[in-house]
Chains A and B, each alone.
Chain A
Amino acid sequence: MKPAPFKYYAPTTVEEALAHLTEYGYDAKALAGGQSLIPMLNFRLAQPAVLVDLNNISELFYIRPDGNGGLCLGAMTRQRQVEYDPLVAERAPLVHEVMPQIAYPQIRTRGTFGGSLAHADPSAELVAVNIALNARFRLRSQARERWVPADEFFAGLFTTVLEPDELLVEIALPPMPPRSGAAFLQITRRHHDFCIAGVAVLVTLDGKGQCEQARLVFLSAGAGPVIAHQAAGVLVGQAPTPEVIRAAAERAASADIDPGSDIHASAEYRRHLAKVLARRTLTQAFDRAISNI
């Protein structure tokens, strides 16, 4: 299969790109790494009339420290660059841990950090990790600029709050809070497949060693990423014992997620996996938090 015909623009600045998106609105699609979009074009699952190629906009490729121990990434930063960056390894260890699990090395050469987020595949590792880490996203249109927290950015299957005339331009990752630990696990039938179930977790302890905050974000457990609020409720204010962790994992699996059935897995199996993965990641995250005191 080959893509349907489209008009093609290759702007070199964000302004130019936004001008095209404003002109064409819903008829245009932004092209980042293309590792998710071009397969859709090849299958003709998507047939945008206009493609705005972002790959020549050098101002969108960067990884910088912010003033507070966190990081800012340009949305077009290649996944491969994020994977090998020492600042990311130091300030966002969960991102560093997850990068090699995304697709294959060849995909990460072109794929971008922001592109994965804007595409919003329910099994995207970066979606869950950014929510777990309380990232904030900067969106720009010709008319305005706005910051959206990661947990408000995703709106459903392959859907975000991006308007047709908007681009995701920057991702801000806060520093890891003190006494925190993060972990990520996913289950795939073969290495690097889209996952059947996965979870990203960030936990913070208070001065008494009890859980102060917990964030669990599931992948492949619904139409989009699922934040397990009830499971967090089980953990907050409690010492993170195996019993409490087990209870939180069970609550997440039974009450927070509503996975579907498909040819890869039944809903029941996904729930079971979610419970097991939640228990393992919470255990690991709390251990890391304790060793970070």
Chain B
Amino acid sequence: MNGLFNVTITVNGTQYERTVEPRLLLSDFLRHDLGLTGTHVGCEHGVCGACTILFDGDPVRSCLMFAVQANGHEVLTVEGLGTMDNLHPLQEAFWGAGAVQCGFCTPGFLMSLTPFLKENPNPTEEEIREAISGNLCRCTGYQHIIDAVKLAAEKMRR
């Protein structure tokens, strides 16, 4: 079928029905069709991590999936992680530890780290570095990001 496809995708708990071209990337679907611009597009070939979202709970590159592939599945973006009034502990920790400068990479880091901390509530620095190895940051030099993860892990353990 060359034409358009009807998709039903649950994003941050809300079900959306849309009609899309098969070549529409999931990242573009989230940003343009749903207006959820928290997911950022850095490289569109899978190396920068800015577009990372959770797909059925697992971290994936939304620039390397098509929206049609998400039909019937659940997506969590940074908008679903916390709100201004109710920040996720990771978001608070990034803020507190100075891990955000321009903020472009931040949503990708948050979405990569959320499942990581769930599985590794008490990570070593080495494990943290390994976990963020798929996310690039041009501003911070990573040290404060690592501090933020340690801070968040500690908060979340309590």
- Which of A's residues lie within 8 Å of B, judged by CB? 1-10, 34-35, 38-39, 41-43, 51, 53, 55, 80, 100, 103-107, 109-110, 191-192
Contact = CB atoms under 8 A, between A and B. Distances in A.
The size class of the interface chain B forms with chain A is 20 to 34
Q: Is the interface of B mostly helix, strand, loop or mixed?
A: mixed
Contacts, number: 86
Contact of B5 (A8, A35, A110): A8
B64 A5 contact: no
A35 B61 contact: yes
B61 A2 contact: no
A3 B112 contact: no
B68 A106 contact: no
Interface string B96-112: 00000000000000001
A89 B52 CA distance: 28
Contact of A106 (B5, B21, B49): B49
Contacts of B68: 8, 10, 53
Given A35-B46, A105-B131, A106-B134, 5 more contacts: A2-B28, A38-B63, A105-B134, A110-B61, A192-B134
Contact of B22 (A34, A43, A51, A107): A51
A104 B133 contact: yes
Contacts of A105: 59, 112, 116, 131, 133-134
Contact of B25 (A2, A51, A80, A192): A2
Nearest to A7: B2
Nearest to B2: A7
A103 B58 contact: no
6 contacts: A7-B2, A7-B22, A39-B45, A42-B44, A105-B59, A109-B58
B65 interface: yes
B142 interface: no
B87 to A, nearest CB: 23
Contacts of A43: 45
B131 A39 contact: no
B75 interface: no
Contacts of A100: 130
B59 A106 contact: yes
